[in-house]
Structures are given as C-alpha cells and as structure tokens.
C-alpha cells in the first residue's frame, strides 16, 4: 500500500538525530570528550628567539645528529619552525617544512651500511606546511648518527623582493625518544648549507629543547604558582652566592635531563616568564669537588657572541648534561628579573614554576627537598611547589607521555574533521532530499488538485443529471396529465367543429384546464428554484396549494400547532411541497372521493401531514395499483426528507397518506 507522509513529519524525520547523525554523532561526542582530557599543541611567543634551522638548497640537503653513543630510537618527531611574527594561534601554520624526506641511522658519520627508518612525502603540494608535527615509529635499528635527507623536490620555493627565486627548508625541533627520554636533546648538529644567525637560525636550535609549543603540560590544573624568592632592591648584576634555589635528591643519581619551567601565575596571566632571571647558571652539586656547570647564561659560551638568553616566556628550557651523576641541582640568579614604577626596575626577584630532574621517564625531583637562599611569604608560592609536578597552571608530563597524548589528540582531530565532513555531506544530501521531497509534494498537490477538480466536475455532472431527472418527474407529475387532458379535449372539440356542432361546456372545460395547467407550471417553476421562506410562509403555501388543487371538491384543511421560528433549507422546502402536491393530486384524480381532508400539524420539532379521502381506495398489495411514478415518487421524496411515510388504503373504504418529518433549520 502506498503511504504518504506529511511535509512536517517528513522534515522531523529527515532532521532527527537518529536519521541525520547516527553512529557518527556518537563517535564525534566520544572524540570531543576524550580531547578534553588530552594536551594541546599551544604555541608560545618564542621570546627566547631560538626559532630553528633554515637550510639552503642542496641536492640533497641533510641534517645529522650525533648522539655521542649508539642508541635505539623508539620514536622520532619533527616539529616545524614557527616565525615570531605569526599570530599566537592554536594550530599555527609552519613555514618551510620539507615536502619530502628520509630518515636513516648509522654507526659512522659516513653512513656506511645505514638503515632507513622512514620515508615520507606530502600527498598534495604544500600539505606539509599545515602539519602540527610529523612523527615516525622506529624499526628497531640502532646507531650513533641520525640523518634526515631532504631530496631536491622536498625544498620549498619562494620569490623575494628582487623577483629572484630561492629554495629552502625550515625545521624548529627534532625530538628522538629512546627509553623515555629525548636522546637528541643538546646533541651536536651538522648540516648541508644553512643560514647562520646566532640564536635565531642555527643547527643547534634543532636539539636545544626550545620550540614553539608551551611546556610539556597536560590538562589538569595546578595547585600552586611555584617558587618565588624575596625581593632585592638594586640594579645590575648580583653576586652569584646571594640568590639561588636548588633541589636535593638525597643521594647522587644518574641524571639524563633537567627541565626549567618559567612561572606564569594565574593572577598575572599576561606575564609569561615571571621572575625568570636575565642571567643565570645551572650547577650540579654546587660548592663540592664534583661541582659541574650544566648551563652558563652569564658567559653564554654557546651563543656565538650574541647577547644572553632573553626571557623564555612560557617555553620550557630542557637541558641534557652528558654522563651527569649528582645529588643537588641548583639555579643561580645573577641578573634578576625586575619590576618597578615609571620604568625603574628597582624590585628584583627570582621565580620558577618547576625544576624537574629526569632519569629516563621518571622525574627524580618530584616531592624532594628544596633548598633556597630566601623565599617570599606570598599566597600561592612555596618551595614545595617547585617539585609538585605542575607548572603555574597545569600538570607536567614526561616526553613519552606528552608526545603519545599529543599524537593521540592530533589523530582524534583528524578523525573528527573527517566525521564533520561526512556530516556536512549528509546535511547537504538531506537538504537535497528535502528539496526533492518538496518538489514531489508540489507535484502530488497538483495531482490531487486535478483529481479534486475532476471530482467536482463529476459531482456537478451528477447534480445536472439529478436536476434533469427531477425536472422530468415534476413535468410528468404536474404538467403531463394536464396537457394530455387538454390535448384530448381539443381533439374532441375539433371533431365537433368538423361536424358543425360545438358544445360551449367543452370550450369552457378546455379554458379551465389551460388555466389549471398554467398554475401547475408556476408550481413547477417554484419547485425547481424555490425561494427562501420561513416556516410561517411555508405553512401558508401548503394551505394555498391545498385550496387550489381541491377546488370544486368537498374538502377540509386543518392546521394545528405552533409554527417554529427560523427558515428551512430550500431543498427541504422543495421536497416537502412536491410530496404534498403529489399526494393531493393523486387523491383528486384517483380516489373518486366525496370528501378529502388535509391535516397540517406543527408538533415541536416535527411536521405531520395527513391526506385523508373517503374514496374508492385500493389494495396496497396489488402490484397493478401500486406501480408507476406516483407512489414511487412519494416514497423517494419521503426518504429524501428523512421522514416516516405510510399509506393506508382499503378498497371502497378510502385512503390515508401520513408523513412525519423532522423540522430542518438552514
């Protein structure tokens, strides 16, 4: 069976969550929930000015990292360079990321018997520029030297202001994880020709631990801001024995990495690197025979003659002292961060959110004792906050966990983008479906309109046919007999004229019959197109009709009851008068009665009619007497009036016709 759905119901179906979204919607909700617990690649402002590596064209270009010993990488991640002029967005677009590359590892710097770890090429030109980073899992190969080879087609091309073309590549950081630590951190880097601009562009930036991401942080909030020292009021450098803070591990242990996380207190959200010294040193086991300087940002021997390290802002500083075994790690402030009024920096202090000491993927400093030269008694700051595993804002993660969760987050974002694309395509498909449904509905409405028009025409034709039949019946009942009688009398008069003898009575009879026929014609016209009357006018008409038809016969007309208010419908009036006239005419013509009585009774919501004669009567069971249009017409009209019709007749005893009909209001 063909079933039609209304347009509102169809729209509700098409745009219901089940129809429109289905499993994709549920999966998208799962992804968004999971992403809320995963870290994000949030760019920092790179105030350290260490942007990365800018390689010039070579065929092929290459970058080599010397681990200093044989390692077996677990994962290799390449981060793009992000220029400081770019806006601070969540998903920055890199500049110059290679379009193709190979990664290989070998035991010798000549890369004899090198093993390829990975090969990659962007699927579409320029696609690599939008990558947040690129990572590869290792194949178990080991070696001291790791090389990234960039074929000629992997270089980017640009046009400078002099309309000359040049090709280049740029990278921000290379992370090589092995045993939970970044074994590439602070390792020597050599390369094919590159731009050498100390701090901004140099090969060492690829492994210096500075890159555009904020610290290796998660999503859970921090309970404190970090450690903050007391205020000093001076200008210029301060003796290195005065301002310091250190973590005491309790015993000497092997140390792989040291991470310094600048403070960024919640109350001062616009001051990244809050309290980070302008010049400082990081020293292990200060004052002992085993003392070792891990980072010197006073004499800055690795700066190539450039100025000292600028404030790192929100960026984490990652150090990788080779073969370090120590108990205590100390940060010494030499030229402190200063604040003041009217541009004067007369208030100086040392602040740091977290000092981490890593052995593999374990933070040895977590919860250990913190020693310090002084401290500020301020809410949110305490020595213990320096080793609570949090920055000023969020929890801190190890390299492996951070990179694994970042990769997971990026994979989920890619999946979510694919789902949203499918959902958008489905929305467009549903819009098209709705459009086609609308067109189909319009066509259906047009077809139904045509069908309705045809039905109206069919009903009009049926009405015309009913009118034709009604006219035929009325002419037969009202006019036919009179015209037949008139024709017969005219023929007899004609015969008398031919014989030269004409009776005056016959001519008068013909005249009377003609006048009677005219009256009947007027009644037929009223029956065919009756005027709208009230019940009082209708009752008067019934009486007038009876007087006219029964003229010349002993008759009695009795009207009882109270005529109701209002107006009957035209059809109801027409059918009632037609029934009434036909009943009187039958009694007048066929009953041979000495007296005919008419009773019209208005009884509440009913009208009762009775035509009673004392004539010859007939056998109602005789088919001969009851056949023809007369009695059939009375029965049909009574049915149309929804009335109760009976006829009682006994031969030689007379006939009584009863009709009881409900009074109808228009």
**pLDDT, the chain, mean:** 82
In the three-class reduction of DSSP (H, G, I as helix; E, B as strand; rest coil), residue 215 is classed as coil
- pLDDT at residue 3, as a whole number: 43
More confident residue, 98 or 434: 98
Residue 544 has pLDDT above 80, yes or no: yes
pLDDT, tens only, 209-244: 877 776 688 888 889 999 998 887 655 555 556 889
pLDDT, tens only, 340-349: 544 445 678 8
Query: If we measure between CA atoms, which residue out of 131, 128, 171 comes closest to residue 148?
Result: 171
Beta bridge partners of 351: 228
pLDDT, tens only, 136-191: 998 999 999 999 999 999 999 876 544 445 899 999 999 999 988 899 998 999 99
As given in the structure block, the two tokens for residue 160 are: 């400078």
Domains of the chain: 51-213 (2.60.120), 214-396 (2.60.120.260), 534-666 (3.30.565.10)
If you average pLDDT over residues 52-76, what whole number do you get?
Answer: 94
More confident residue, 102 or 20: 102
- pLDDT at residue 368, as a whole number: 96
How far is Cα of residue 263 from the mean position of the Cα atoms in its chain?
43
Task: Report the alpha-carbon distance of residue 398 to residue 414 in Å, rounded.
Answer: 24
If you average pLDDT over residues 309-318, what whole number do you get?
Answer: 77
Number of CB atoms found within 10 A of residue 369's CB: 14
Task: Report the alpha-carbon distance of residue 290 to residue 30 in Å, rounded.
Answer: 53
Residue 461 has pLDDT above 80, yes or no: no
More confident residue, 194 or 514: 194
DSSP state of 614: -
- pLDDT at residue 522, as a whole number: 64
**What burial class does residue 317 get, using C-beta atoms within 10 Å of its C-beta: 0-12 exposed, 13-18 middle, 19+ buried?**
buried
Residues 210 and 315 sit within 8 Å (Cβ to Cβ): yes
Task: Report the alpha-carbon distance of residue 177 to residue 89 in Å, rounded.
Answer: 27
Query: If we measure between CA atoms, which residue out of 548, 658, 540, 570 comes closest to residue 607?
Result: 658
Query: Which segment of 377-381, 572-576, 657-661 scores lowest on mean pLDDT?
Result: 572-576
- pLDDT at residue 164, as a whole number: 45
Task: Report the alpha-carbon distance of residue 174 to residue 179 in Å, rounded.
Answer: 16
- pLDDT at residue 296, as a whole number: 86
As given in the structure block, the two tokens for residue 217 are: 């942080």
Residues 663 and 605 sit within 8 Å (Cβ to Cβ): yes
- pLDDT at residue 197, as a whole number: 84
**What's the Cα-to-Cα distance from 99 to each of 94, 96, 130, rounded to whole Å?**
12, 8, 11
């Amino acid at each position: 069976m063909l079933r039609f759905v209304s347009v509102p119901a169809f729209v509700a179906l098409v745009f219901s969550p089940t129809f429109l979204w289905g499993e994709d919607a549920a999966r998208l909700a799962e992804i968004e929930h999971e992403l809320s617990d995963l870290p994000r690649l949030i760019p920092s402002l790179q105030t350290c000015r260490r942007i990365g590596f800018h390689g010039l064209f070579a065929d092929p270009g290459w970058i080599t990292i010397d681990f200093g010993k044989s390692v077996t990488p677990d994962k290799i991640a390449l981060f793009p360079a992000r220029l400081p002029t770019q806006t601070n967005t969540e998903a920055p677009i890199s500049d110059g990321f290679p379009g193709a590359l190979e990664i290989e590892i070998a035991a010798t710097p000549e890369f004899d018997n090198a093993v390829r770890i990975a090969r990659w090429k962007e699927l579409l030109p320029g696609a690599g520029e939008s990558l947040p980073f690129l990572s590869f899992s290792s194949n178990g190969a080991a070696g001291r030297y790791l090389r990234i080879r960039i074929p000629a087609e992997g270089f980017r091309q640009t046009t400078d202001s002099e309309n000359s073309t040049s090709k280049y590549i740029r990278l921000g950081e290379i992370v090589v994880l092995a045993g939970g630590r970044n074994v590439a951190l602070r390792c020597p880097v050599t390369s094919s020709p590159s731009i050498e601009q100390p701090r901004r562009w140099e090969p060492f930036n690829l492994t210096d631990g500075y890159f555009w991401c904020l610290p290796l942080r998660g999503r859970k909030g921090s309970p404190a801001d970090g450690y903050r020292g007391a205020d000093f009021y001076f200008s210029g450098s301060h003796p290195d024995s005065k301002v310091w803070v250190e973590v005491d591990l309790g015993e000497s242990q092997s140390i792989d990495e040291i991470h310094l996380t600048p403070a960024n207190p919640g109350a001062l959200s616009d001051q990244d690197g809050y309290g980070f010294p302008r010049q400082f040193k990081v020293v292990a086991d200060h004052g002992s025979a085993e003392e070792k300087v891990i980072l010197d940002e006073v004499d800055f021997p690795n700066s190539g003659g450039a100025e000292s390290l600028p404030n790192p802002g929100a960026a984490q500083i990652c150090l990788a002292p080779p073969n370090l075994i120590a108990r205590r790690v100390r940060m010494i402030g030499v030229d402190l961060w200063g604040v003041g009024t009217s541009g004067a920096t007369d208030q100086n202090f040392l602040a740091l959110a977290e000092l981490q000491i890593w052995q593999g993927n374990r933070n040895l400093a977590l919860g250990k004792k913190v020693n310090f030269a002084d401290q500020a008694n301020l809410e949110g700051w305490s020595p213990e906050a320096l080793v609570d595993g949090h920055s000023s804002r969020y929890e801190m993660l190890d390299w492996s966990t951070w990179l694994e969760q970042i990769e997971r987050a990026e994979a989920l974002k890619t999946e979510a983008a694919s789902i949203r694309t499918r959902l958008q395509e489905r929305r467009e498909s549903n819009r098209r479906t709705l459009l086609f449904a609308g067109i189909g509905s319009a066509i259906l409405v047009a077809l139904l309109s045509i069908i309705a028009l045809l039905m109206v025409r069919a009903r009009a034709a049926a009405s015309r046919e009913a009118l034709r039949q009604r006219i035929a019946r009325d002419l037969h009942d009202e006019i036919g007999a009179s015209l037949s009688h008139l024709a017969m009398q005219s023929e007899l008069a004609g015969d008398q004229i031919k014989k030269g003898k004409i009776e005056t009575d016959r001519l008068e009879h013909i005249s009377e019959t003609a006048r009677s026929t005219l009256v009947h014609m007027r009644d037929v016209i009223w029956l065919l197109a009756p005027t709208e009357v009230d019940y009082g006018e209708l009752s008067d008409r019934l009486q007038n009709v009876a007087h006219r038809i029964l003229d010349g016969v002993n008759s009695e007309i009795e009207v009882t009851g109270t005529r109701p208010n209002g107006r009957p419908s035209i059809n109801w009036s027409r059918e009632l008068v037609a029934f009434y006239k036909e009943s009187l005419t039958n009694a007048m013509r066929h009953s041979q009665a000495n007296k005919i009585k008419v009773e019209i009774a208005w009884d509440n919501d009913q009208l009762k009619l009775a035509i009673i004669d004392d004539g010859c009567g007939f056998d109602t069971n005789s088919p001969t007497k009851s056949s023809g249009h007369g009695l059939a017409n009375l029965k049909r009209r009574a049915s149309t009036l929804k009335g109760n019709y009976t006829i009682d007749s006994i031969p030689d005893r007379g006939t009584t016709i009863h009709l009881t009909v409900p009074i109808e209001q228009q």
